[in-house]
Amino acid sequence: MENKIINLGIFGFGVVGQGLYEVLNRTKGINARIKKICIKDPNKSRPIDSSYFTTDKNEILEDPAIDVVVELINDTEAAFDIVSTALRNGKAVVSASKRMIAENLPALYELQSANKVPFLYEASSCASIPIIRNLEEYYDNDLLNAVEGICNGSTNYILTKIFEENLSFETALQQAQELGFAETDPTLDIEGYDPKFKLVILLLHAFGTFVKPEEVYNFGIHHLNDFDIQFAKQRNCTVKLIAQCRRQNGSVFAYVLPHLVKEHNLLYDVYNEYNGILLESAFTDKQFFVGKGAGGTATGSAVLSDISALLYNYRYEYKKIKQNNQPNFTNDVKLKVYLRYKTPDQVDLAEFFNISEKYESPEWRYVVGTINLQKLKDAGWLKKKDVNLLVLE
């Protein structure tokens, strides 16, 4: 595609679609133009000329003049249908749909291989941070030990407002929604599903291991209360929602859980809608990436970066899959946690390997101790709204 103008067919014109339109118009160095945008509601008023828009997906998918399909919608099934049809039609595809990708990774991997077309999705994982490309190009499988960090801008914004400005959870969430960082239905963000989908994608590029989203345990910040916040502050810590995958004894484990983070941790100073990712490898020790993790132009810039890479015939090589030494996925790992609850019948403390600290008052109780991640996943305690968990460093 080098030196030619790329014709883009875009699906969706929400926050990210408009962000892409904006960054594309402000960037001089890329030979790409939008030919058609497919949208659901033709009556909605939009900030650009109506001649761009269609409600017929085939105007993009069947148009031989369109080189790249850019998929930016939030309907998982429709997104998979669009992407798989485009790949079968021999078109390169760029997507930002982390849920659709995480739930269909094996099929999407096969479609790319079978049709010999690139499918790029940098924007799906950490918005403006080029983490997938770094994992693909720079880190050899034998050297990488862990990928961990904050990869949800909405929850990080909420936690920053709670800890830095003493706002209530509800007020902070409302602000995040007004700024476009959090969805109208914030469940996927605050319960930790959104960072889990990103983690499933990163797991594949970091270690070559395919994992279904439901195998990875996620618990968010939706049960955080004033008692937990005081507990953190008394220990000079803050709370961050951390997604982590780590190699251990020939296997790899992964989870999304709120952590108590101390000041010396690089993630402590990642504020507001920013994301921060720590890579740990045998020779380079720790490397730290930080960048905006929410908002239209931040995500739009990652989409544009993928479009630009297609000009040079770039594709993911999935080297870790081809090396055939992928670690198996496991939830058999010990975690040191703070578990807060209201009444003794809500939790089973016999599941803990050990308990190093115990507190009881008429209002709340907590223990600090070590427990197996699989037991935590199976127990179901955390479905009760009076129970909360923080992982301790």
State both tokens at 344: 């003794």
From the list 198, 240, 292, 320, the catalytic residue is 198
92-123 exposure pattern, b = at least 16 Cβ within 10 A, e = fewer: bbbbbbbbbbbbbbeebbebbeebebbbbbbb
HSE value, Cβ hemisphere, 13 Å, CA-based, for 343: 4
Residue pair 26/325 in contact (Cβ under 8 Å)? The answer is no
With CA atoms as reference, report the closest residue to 133 among 310, 360, 254: 310
Amino acid letter for position 11: F
Asked whether 87 and 107 are in contact (CB, 8 A), the reply is no
- Distance between terminal CA atoms of the chain? 48
- How far is it, in rounded angstroms, from Cα 389 to Cα 260? 10
**383 in the Ramachandran plot: left (φ > 0), alpha (ψ -120 to 50) or beta?**
alpha
Nearest CA-CA partner of 306 in 57, 62, 131, 180: 131
Query: Which residue type occupies 7?
Result: N
Considering only CA atoms, which of 320, 12, 3 is closest in space to residue 137? 320
**Residue 198 catalytic?**
yes
**What does the alpha-carbon distance between residue 240 and residue 261 come to, in Å, rounded to a whole number?**
7
Place of tokens 């010999």: 116
Active site residues: 198
